[in-house]
């Protein structure tokens, strides 16, 4: 991976983007794609669309959601403690004892989120899983007045953003879901932009996926692509306690995961797998028997239908502070998408 590309990934991971509050990360995206996209636009919903070859008849859309799960300030307690709702699907157990950041209008405010210590939990409380209501944010304020001067109701909150490289080319950070998928679609556009493309490529940094796939829906309507490929994370099953019988055999470092199933167009899926074989890009195959819970879901039913593919990045510990991926997997995923569009003649018919 080129160092500028790795820096771009680190910039994405260091920039907050809870659903509905994606502007800072979209600024990072807009700034980066300027050098190689023919056209960069932002729609009214906040999706950023970077286009190569906009006049082509065949339009291929790549969707990588830029939003991350987070929290939203709902109440400031008399003593200055701060309560928040969740944005997106949290396991509250994952929040206990985390360092957090409140992204207030005056600048980021460090916070911690926790509950009373084990010594003080009743026997009954020790047996129960923690509920969100039992957790509060603490910024060290003396009282409500001090906290309220800094923090407003509706300010977004994230985990403290930090990137850590691990052994064997693995890396850990909050919100690998889906900043690594966003990285893949933008990097694929950059790699493909050097070729003589026969199709239009629309790499979209979609918003609000974590609260119902909303940005993919609006951006796909606007672009009206014939082919759409979503890139998101999927569960790696190469760690203890995950059942491979239903979730498949997916390992970090074994390459992008190409999904098969009714949410995917079989010709797009076959072409992705054929591209991987021809270009010697290691990849894995997974199956999903229902409408998937990511942008591929709404891509497929856009307007009169879109030939949809789903390429996923294996991820351990999804929706936690320590989401882990393989850098080689995202590099290969970008290659796979770039080779896919570079191999199109522009005359393909994906009607199954
Ligand atoms: Zn996601």
- Which 3 state secondary structure label does DSSP give 332? helix
Residue tagged active-site, from 209, 210, 323, 348:
209
What pLDDT is stored for residue 43 in this prediction?
98
235 CA → ligand 1 middle, Å: 11
Ordered per-residue pLDDT tens for the chain, 352 residues: 899 999 999 999 999 999 999 999 999 999 999 999 999 999 999 999 999 999 999 999 999 999 999 999 999 999 999 999 999 999 999 999 999 999 999 999 999 999 999 999 999 999 999 999 899 999 999 999 999 999 999 999 999 999 999 999 999 999 999 999 999 999 999 999 999 999 999 999 999 999 999 999 999 999 999 999 999 999 999 999 999 999 999 999 999 999 999 999 999 999 999 999 999 999 999 999 999 999 999 999 999 999 999 999 999 999 999 999 999 999 999 999 999 999 999 999 999 9
- pLDDT score recorded for residue 302: 98
Q: Is the pTM here over 0.85, yes or no?
A: yes
d(CA 80, ligand 1 centre) in Å: 33
Whether residue 306 contacts residue 59, with contact meaning beta carbons closer than 8 Å, is answered with no
d(CA 43, CA 218): 9
Query: Are 293 and 230 a contacting pair, CB within 8 Å?
Result: no
99: three-class secondary structure by DSSP: strand
pLDDT, residue 263, reads 98
Instruction: Take residue 22 and report the two structure tokens written for it.
Output: 């994606």
Helices 3-14 and 23-33: angle between axes, nearest 10 degrees: 160
Q: Is 209 a catalytic residue?
A: yes
Question: What is the DSSP track for 195-206?
Answer: S--SSEEEEEEE
C-alpha 269, offset from chain centre: 21
Helix axes 176-192, 3-14, angle to 10 degrees: 150
Q: Quote the radius of gyration of the chain (alpha carbons, Å).
A: 21
Ligand 1 centroid–CA 31 distance in Å is 23
Report yes or no: 183 and 171 within 8 Å, Cβ to Cβ: no
Residue 206 CA to ligand 1 centre (angstroms): 11
d(Cα 175, Cα 14) in Å, to the nearest integer?
10
**226 vs 34, 172, 202, 303, CA distance in Å?**
25, 35, 11, 10
> H-type helices in 201-243, by residue range?
214-223
Tell me the two tokens of residue 87: 């944005």
What is the reported pLDDT for 1?
87
Q: Express each pLDDT in 190-211 by its tens digit.
A: 999 999 999 999 999 999 999 9
């Amino acid at each position: 991976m080129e160092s500028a590309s790795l820096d771009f990934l680190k910039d994405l991971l260091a920039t907050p983007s809870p659903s509905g509050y994606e502007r800072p990360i979209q600024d990072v995206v807009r700034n980066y794609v300027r050098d190689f996209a023919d056209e960069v636009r932002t729609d009214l919903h906040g999706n950023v669309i970077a286009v190569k070859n906009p006049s082509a008849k065949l339009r291929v859309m790549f969707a990588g959601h830029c939003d991350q799960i987070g929290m939203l300030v709902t109440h400031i307690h008399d003593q200055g403690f701060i309560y928040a709702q969740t944005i997106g699907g949290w396991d509250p157990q994952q929040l206990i004892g985390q360092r957090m950041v409140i992204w207030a209008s005056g600048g980021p405010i460090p916070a911690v989120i926790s509950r009373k210590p084990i010594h003080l939990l009743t026997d009954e409380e020790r047996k129960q899983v923690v509920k969100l209501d039992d957790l509060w944010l603490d910024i060290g304020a003396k009282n409500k007045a001090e906290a309220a001067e800094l923090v407003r109701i509706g300010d977004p909150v994230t985990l403290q953003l930090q990137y850590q490289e691990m052994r064997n080319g693995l890396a850990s950070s909050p919100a690998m879901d889906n900043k690594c998928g966003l990285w893949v679609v933008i990097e694929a556009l950059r790699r493909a932009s050097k070729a003589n493309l026969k199709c239009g490529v629309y790499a979209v940094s979609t918003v609000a996926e974590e609260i119902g796939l909303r940005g993919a829906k609006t951006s796909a309507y606007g672009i009206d692509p014939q082919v759409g490929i979503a890139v998101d994370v999927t569960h790696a099953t190469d760690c203890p306690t995950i059942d491979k019988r239903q979730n498949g055999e997916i390992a970090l470092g074994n390459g992008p995961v190409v999904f098969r199933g009714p949410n995917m167009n079989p010709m797009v899926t076959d072409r992705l797998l054929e591209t991987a074989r021809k270009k010697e890009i290691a990849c894995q195959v997974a199956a999903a028997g229902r409408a998937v819970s990511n942008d591929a879901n709404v891509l497929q039913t856009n307007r009169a239908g879109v030939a949809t593919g789903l390429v996923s990045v294996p991820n351990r510990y999804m929706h936690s502070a320590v989401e882990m991926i393989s850098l080689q997997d995202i590099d290969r995923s970008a290659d796979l998408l770039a080779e896919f569009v570079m191999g199109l003649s522009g005359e393909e018919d994906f009607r199954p």
